[in-house]
Structure 1
Amino acid sequence: MNPARASSQRLLALAIASTLLVACQPGADPQQQQAARAEAREQAAEAMAAEFDKAYAAENWNLARAHGDILNDEYPGSAAAERIHARYEETREKAREQRETLRLAGLWTYQTQPFKDGLQLSASLYSREPVDTDGGGAHPVQLIFRDNPDWGRSSYLVLEAGDFDCYGGCKVKLAVDDGESRRVDASRPKTDEAIAMFIEDEAMLWKTVKSARRIAIEFPVKAGGTRTAEFEVGGLAPEHMPGWR
């Protein structure tokens, strides 16, 4: 059972017991007992509302939402539920936004690796959905930003299967959020170490990603035609790549 919900039920039980102890004296009538139960219910509701108030003041939106949920589920129509109604609706939206922010941030992976006399830094994430790049099934596509002491800064896509049809250079389409796509330069290096394709203007792509929620890149493949990989980039933490602007 949810700890907050269990606490609410304990509070209600204690409030009822203490109130009925007074009401259930010899000669107490059913109306008095009913009033005592109603009073106990309001006391328990106020106690849960107080927990909501504390979480709200601390801007702990998920906890505040949980307390608000319990208050509205278990004590609907109570004075306490009415009192917090506007802030409860606000908290539900902020809790949703907070969860989404954490989810987007968790999509990124940051690495720091020794490289000769320096450090190689990278920031990467996988496409929102797998992409069939070779006709043999869908696989994730990876977007990587890399800062290497010898090779400098670069941005590129990596495939797990198939290959890019971009040897000698090509144009790919970059779409940002709900905007129109534009053509940008890309190239496939002549190496078998990784199935990678560079987006040539890495500074532009980095700046784009920093201000976007999602991007989509359409690229040519050797299997024929083009494929599109979409990335939810809104959780990027630029401080992990301090040399980039």
Structure 2
Amino acid sequence: MRRIAPLFAVLVLAACSSSQDQQAAQQAPAANTQADEAAKKLETYQQLLKLHNDGPAVQLGHEIVDRYPDTPAAVEVKKTLDDVEKNYKETTEKNRLAAMWLYQVSPMQGGTQSTATIQSSRPSGEEAVRLILRRHTDWGQSVFLYAVAGKGFVCKGDCSLKATFDGKAKIIKAFRPPTGEPALLFRNDAQFLKDLAKTKRLTIDVVTISRGETTLTFETGGFDDSKWQPLAKKKK
């Protein structure tokens, strides 16, 4: 019996070793398959980077890192993924802000006007208010708020509007046009434009006839002065 026990132990060890070898043999092809799949995706990832197609590249890069974490391809992707994703997010946000502005040149009451317009982020929809920068061949330069719907603003004579430019508090002097449009014209448009050029978020407190006291929010960071065309004064 004493001889049988060691022999049995040897057989058990041999069986375990054989089982482990089989598992390793089975796992090796699977690992190789994953590495091959990841390598093919890496080629696509690198091609997307060459084409500056960062959105799909970021998505594919995360797929490689998440699904094939222990492959050489994942190691390679990690070298660039963070920077690519950061640049992609910054570019996406820049494009989003730029798209909020509308630039137009059109005839207006016997002259020509060039406008840059942005709509409030809050309130939005039917309650939105437009901020309009205008150059006109007869009337010159002006900046004003225009109510998309409703009866406009409450303002007697000159009114002082509390505003913030990226959190910095300022006062904007404004008045209602005598012609009755639902608008508020700014007195010092030159100073406003100077402040606007370096502002990403603008708020203006107004009183509207339909809503009462309202804080308007404009995401102005995408303003491009080069797209707001200057106009020569009309010859008399």
Query: Which residue identity lines up with residue 189 of structure 1 in the other structure?
Result: P
Cα distance, 1:93 vs structure 2: 2.0
Cα distance, 1:52 vs structure 2: 2.3
1:165 aligns with 2:158: no
Identity within the alignment, % = 28
- Give the one of 195, 214, 222 matched to 1:235: 222
1:218 aligns with 2:211: no
Cα distance, 1:229 vs structure 2: 0.3
Cα distance, 1:90 vs structure 2: 2.0
Alignment of 1:68-87 (within 5 A): 68-87=61-80
Cα RMSD after superposing both structures: 2.6
* Structure 1, gaps ≥5 residues long: 1-28, 132-136
Query: Which residue identity lines up with residue 158 of structure 1 in the other structure?
Result: Y
Whether the aligned pair in 2 keeps the contact of 1:167 and 1:190 (CA below 8 Å) is no
Cα distance, 1:153 vs structure 2: 0.9
CA offsets 1:181-215 (integer angstroms, 9 cap, x no match): 111211111223x2000112222222222211110
Whether the aligned pair in 1 keeps the contact of 2:150 and 2:209 (CA below 8 Å) is no
- The residue aligned with 1:183 is 171
Q: 1:54 to 1:223 in 2, by over 3 A?
A: closer
* Structure 2, gaps ≥5 residues long: 1-21, 232-236
Query: Which residue identity lines up with residue 105 of structure 2 in the other structure?
Result: T
Cα distance, 1:116 vs structure 2: 6.3
Q: 1:129 to 1:68 in 2, by over 3 A?
A: same
- The residue aligned with 2:188 is 201
Alignment of 1:97-116 (within 5 A): 97-115=90-108
Query: Which residue identity lines up with residue 145 of structure 1 in the other structure?
Result: L
**How far apart are the structure 1 equivalents of 2:225 and 2:58?**
30
Cα distance, 1:148 vs structure 2: 1.0
Describe the SS at the equivalent of 1:43.
Answer: helix
- Give the one of 138, 145, 148 matched to 2:133: 145
Describe the SS at the equivalent of 1:120.
Answer: strand
Task: Give the total of aligned pairs.
Answer: 209
- TM-score (ref. length: structure 2): 0.78
Describe the SS at the equivalent of 2:80.
Answer: helix
**How far apart are the structure 2 equivalents of 1:217 and 1:86?**
45
